[in-house]
Amino acid sequence: MKLPITEQLYTKSKPIDKLQTLKAINLILDEQEKASFSVRETVHEIDKAVNGVVIHLKKNVSSRLIYVGAGTSGRIGIQDGIELIPTFGWPSDRIDYVMAGGDEAVLKSVENAEDDLKNAKAIFQKNLINKNDVVIGLAASGNTPFTCEIMKMAYKVNALTIAISNNPSGKILKSGVYKIVLDTKEEVIAGSTRLKAGTAQKICLNIISTMVMTKLGFVRNGMMINLIPTNEKLKRRKTRIEKNID
């Protein structure tokens, strides 16, 4: 079986552990820049996904945004989703997360979690994922069994699915109404997709969620009009926003 491109050895330079520190740092930066280029190459697919999600969320007032992933991808999804509540005032009951290994896996690695298809089926049923939901699945390899299983089941019940893979041949893409390929290729440390694959995923999710919230009316004149002021800084920001809204 051929290794996914995200797992293959980086051969464009000497191995990172053989380079002087400054050269290694510059190599990592050069590769991180490529992450943003990989997102730019998918702007048309992202545009379609954003418009589709907006229509879906407007049509189904009980619909949820559900992020699905394992390891780094799962944590990036959680980070993106959880910020929608304080930033835009998105209702907490309209967002959910499906993380391989559960809450425990957010802070540490859980053995065999990403391979647990039985648990994937159980979580899918428990979370009552249905046709009203928007399900965003992220997998660097595109082949993570847990994530692919959740996405496959979501697709079958006609949920609006967005499949995000850093591997153009990722199986997860089969279960996407919208398919986004962030082709970041090899990492400077083979298989360490917390590097540019993760960066590309974060950029991609930033764009999708920001534009969805904007088109739903939570942004006016470039300001987050529904932010939840949970500290003094945000209370001052809320006051400034209210003074400047037309």
Examine the residue annotation and report whether 186 is marked as an active-site residue of this protein.
no
- Cα separation, 48 vs 57, whole angstroms: 14
Asked if 33 is an active-site residue, the reply is: no
Q: Among 225, 204, 230, 198, which Cα is nearest to 213's?
A: 225
User: 7, 45, 83, 232: which one is catalytic?
Assistant: 83
Contact 137/120 with Cβ under 8 angstroms? no
Q: Which ranges in the chain belong to alpha helices (H)?
A: 21-40, 43-59, 71-82, 84-88, 104-107, 117-126, 145-156, 196-213, 232-244
Helices (H) and strands (E) in the chain, counts: 9, 7
Cα(188)–Cα(126) distance, rounded to whole angstroms? Answer: 39
Packing angle of the helix pair 21-40, 43-59 (nearest 10 deg): 60
Residue tagged active-site, from 33, 45, 111, 114: 114
Q: How far apart are CA 224 and CA 73, in angstroms?
A: 26
- Write out the catalytic residue numbers: 83, 114
